[in-house]
Amino acid sequence: MLDQATIAVIKSTIPLLESAGPALTQHFYRRMFSHNPELKDIFNLAHQHSGGQPLALFNAVAAYARHIDNLGALAGAVERIAHKHTGFLIQPEQYHIVGSHLLATLKELGGEAVTEEVLTAWGKAYGVLADIFIGREGELYRQQAEQPGGWQGARPFVITHKREESDIITSFVLAPVDGQPVPDFQPGQYLSLKLTHPDLTHQEIRQYSLSDAPNGRDYRISVKREPAGQVSNLLHDKLAPGDVLAVMPPAGDFVLAAEPGQAVVLISAGVGLTPMLSMLNGLLAKGHDAEIRWLHACEQGSLHGFRQDIRDKCDRHERLLSRVWYRVPQDQDRQGVDYDFSGTMALTQVRELLPSNAHYYCCGPLPFMASIKRQLLALGVGDERLHYEVFGPHQDL
C-alpha cells in the first residue's frame, strides 16, 4: 500500500502529465527501444507507428495517477492488460526495464518540476502497480498451464486448413503438433501467435480472436488482410497448411457470460464478427434457450465474411434472427437476401427485434462501436448490459 504522502505527490503530478500528453509515452517508447532493442520482438511496432500504443499507455498512466487512492477503480483495466501481457509472454524482470525508462522519461521531459521527491513517489507507485500485474499474470500463466490440455509459453501448432471467408478475411485452423488435446476457452477470447519469417524484420506477436466454439482438438482464427499489415499479409499470402506456428494459450477478458434464459444481441462490423461468431457458435452448441440476434455491418457483399454460414444457422435455429447492413451495396448484392439495409447500422430499424433486458456484445472499428453505444443508451439499454472489445490498444468508447 502507498502512504498518503506518496499519494499526494502522485496526484500533484497530474497537471504535468496532462500537459505532456501522449508525447510523454512516445518519448518513453523511443527511449526504451533505443536502450533495449530486444523488446522490439515483443511489442507490435505497427501500433507504435500509428500512435495507438503510446496513446493507450498515456491514458493508462494518467488513469493510474487519478485513481492512485482508489486502485479498485482500475480492476477492469488491470485484468484486460494482464491478459494481453500473457499473450506476449511478459516476465517479471521486464517490469524493471519498463519502470527504469518510465522514471527516466519523467525526469528528461519534466524539467525542474520533476524533483527527487516526485521520482521517489513514482518509483513507489510503479512498484505497487508492477507487483499487481506480476501477481495477476502469474495466476493466469498457472491457470493456462493447469487446465486439461493446457500449456505455458509457446506451443507448436500446425495449420491444418485455410479457407477464404471473403475477399479480405481468411480462416486458419490450428492443431497442436503433438496431437494432444487443447484446453477449452471462453467465447470472445483470442490466440496469440509468435511469428518469425524472412519477410519480417523482427519476431512479431499478434493476437487474433478465436472464431469458433471450443472443441478440445484445435482452434480457428479468422484474419483480415490489412493493406499495410506485415503479419496479416504474411498469413494470407505465404503461410499454408502444413506450416507450423508458435501459439500461446487462449486469453482475454471480453467473454460471453450469458445466463440460461438471457437474450443475447451480437453486434459487429467488418472483421469484428470473429469473436461474435465464437459466441454465437458457443450459444448454439449449448442449445441456448433464449432469443439470439445477429446484427452485422460491412461495406458490401464481397467483404461480407461467413455470409452463408450465418444464413444456414438462421434456417436451423428458430431463436436466431439476423439483420445485415451494407454501407455501399454493389449491383450484385441482393437486398433481402444478402443484406437487409443500406447505409450504416441504425438500431431504430430493428428496434422491435431487440429483446427487453438482452445483453449486448459489440466488436468492430472504434467509431462504429461508439455509435452503437450511443444508440443503445438512447434506446434505454443500461451500461451494465453493454460489453465490447477493441482490437489493438484499448480505448474507451
330 marked among binding-site residues: no
390 marked among binding-site residues: yes
| Contact between residue 211 and residue 174 where contact means Cβ atoms under 8 Å apart | no
Q: Which of 266, 133, 247 lies closest to 190, judged by CA?
A: 247
Q: Which of 237, 219, 222, 240 lies closest to 173, judged by CA?
A: 219
382 marked among binding-site residues: no
208 marked among binding-site residues: yes
As a whole number of angstroms, the distance between CA 365 and CA 395 comes to 11
207 marked among binding-site residues: yes
206 marked among binding-site residues: yes
141 marked among binding-site residues: no
As a whole number of angstroms, the distance between CA 25 and CA 114 comes to 16
250 marked among binding-site residues: no
271 marked among binding-site residues: yes
Active site residue 95: yes
The residue to which cell 507490435 is assigned: 44
As a whole number of angstroms, the distance between CA 359 and CA 28 comes to 39
Active site residue 360: no
| Contact between residue 379 and residue 347 where contact means Cβ atoms under 8 Å apart | yes
* Active-site choice (64, 95, 126, 388): 95
Q: What is the CA radius of gyration of the chain?
A: 22
User: Alpha-carbon torsion 327, 331, 335, 338, what sign?
Assistant: negative
The residue to which cell 455491418 is assigned: 297
* Active-site choice (29, 64, 126, 137): 137
236 marked among binding-site residues: no
142 marked among binding-site residues: no
105 marked among binding-site residues: no
Q: Which residues are annotated as a binding site for heme b?
A: 85
Q: Which residues are annotated as a binding site?
A: 85, 190, 206-209, 270-275, 390-393
Q: Which residues are annotated as a binding site for NADP(+)?
A: 270-275
Q: Which residues are annotated as a binding site for FAD?
A: 190, 206-209, 390-393
Give the residue numbers marked as catalytic.
Answer: 95, 137
